[in-house]
Structure 1
């Protein structure tokens, strides 16, 4: 590959910059232009009766760490990077589901016998998946705490000008995919390939290739960024 083959990174900062570093290490040229921006909220945090914390993103860990000094609860993380962020924030007992929200729910349910209290899911105002439903179905007490929200962000004019010349766009969330779907309705990019973290992320893009608004859509075999970036290896095949 050549250094001019650019990959559009649409996730919010600071995750976008971390993804860009991984792309550069693989020899790709990242174009960081997020479709979402994170805005912190300021809710009251009450950990009375809470036995464990559940995080579905690095942003959730960061938001909780800023808002609350308590690091005594067990932590269940959706994936390894979120788990690493929790450990770096000072949590000692951290378990990773190494998957998606469904895998995280299964991990927590599997540890239910060791939980004496509620599970607090700290994260986005508009979460990408339903964590509380499976936990409640398993008889666990769980509640959600919104610590931040993601706001749609218009890409730069320079990005719009080269949409159809980019090698691919990386999409980490259904929210970003919805923003992209609306964008290409007005700025078609039939050669822009969309690489998605999961089937849920790809769902808002259904029909766009057939309509000529977007190129082929591919889904990572597992919902991890490593699997997502591995899709880049298939671009030349």
Structure 2
């Protein structure tokens, strides 16, 4: 892509703002117009028999931190961004899978001692608790936030009619965009996805060759696609 080209960031805030900073640092024009919005849930947390915490997103970390002052339990994070968020909230013992939910499950199975509490979205992309139980581990889950769909602005949608890139971090955002593209095809846009699972909802909607996914589920790998 040419220097200064527009890059639409569809992920929810506050993560979208951090991504925008990185996109600008690469010389592109960042358009922050999320397809999703995160809202924390008001829930009661029972940590009396919990030996470790598991997080599959930075949003889960931040929502948990608003609900509890507990920072002494060891944390297992799905990747570096989630691990960074956990350390930023004051957790001292943080292990990162640097991969996907399956990698996180393997990390927890190898290192957890006792019951694990997963804190995450009301509608998670994967079933970490079920996977852990399938390995014979004690695990429970609690929804600490929910993700709501939102409509992008007309100005943002107009950018799809010119050469532009769209960054997609989650299957749900990709499904929202796929619904938009059914009504408004984008002939010149490139859709850059965090993983193959994120790209799947767009496979039958976008123009052939316009959808690409990162070789690993990591934002640095995703941003590398901007220069490919």
TM class by smaller structure: over 0.9
Aligned counterpart, 1:178: 175
Residue 190 of structure 2: which of 178, 190, 193 is its match?
Answer: 193
Q: Could you tell me whether the CA contact under 8 Å between 2:99 and 2:218 is conserved in 1?
A: yes
1:25 aligns with 2:25: yes
Q: For 2:19 and 2:192, how far apart are their aligned partners in 1? A: 13
Aligned counterpart, 1:224: 218
1:4 deviates by 3.4
Q: Could you tell me whether the CA contact under 8 Å between 1:77 and 1:83 is conserved in 2?
A: yes
Q: For 1:4 and 1:84, how far apart are their aligned partners in 2? A: 29
| Structure 2 residue runs without a partner (length 5+) | none
Q: For 2:188 and 2:135, how far apart are their aligned partners in 1? A: 45
Aligned counterpart, 2:73: 73
SS class of match (2:161): helix
- If the length of structure 1 is used for normalisation, what is the TM-score? 0.93
Residues 166 and 149 of structure 1: CA distance in aligned 2, closer, same or farther (over 3 Å): farther
1:197 deviates by 0.5
Segments of 4+ moved more than 4 angstroms: none
| Structure 1 residue runs without a partner (length 5+) | none
Q: Could you tell me whether the CA contact under 8 Å between 1:194 and 1:215 is conserved in 2?
A: no
Which digits, 9 at most, give the CA deviation of each residue in 1:146-187, with x for residues without a partner? 011111100011111221214210000011000000011111
Residues 29 and 163 of structure 1: CA distance in aligned 2, closer, same or farther (over 3 Å): same
SS class of match (1:165): coil
Q: For 2:130 and 2:161, how far apart are their aligned partners in 1? A: 40
Which digits, 9 at most, give the CA deviation of each residue in 1:82-121, with x for residues without a partner? 1111111011100000111111111101114xx12x1111
Aligned counterpart, 2:36: 36
Which digits, 9 at most, give the CA deviation of each residue in 1:41-97, with x for residues without a partner? 111111011111101111111001111111111100011111111111011100000
Q: For 1:99 and 1:217, how far apart are their aligned partners in 2? A: 21
- If the length of structure 2 is used for normalisation, what is the TM-score? 0.96
Q: Could you tell me whether the CA contact under 8 Å between 1:7 and 1:30 is conserved in 2?
A: yes
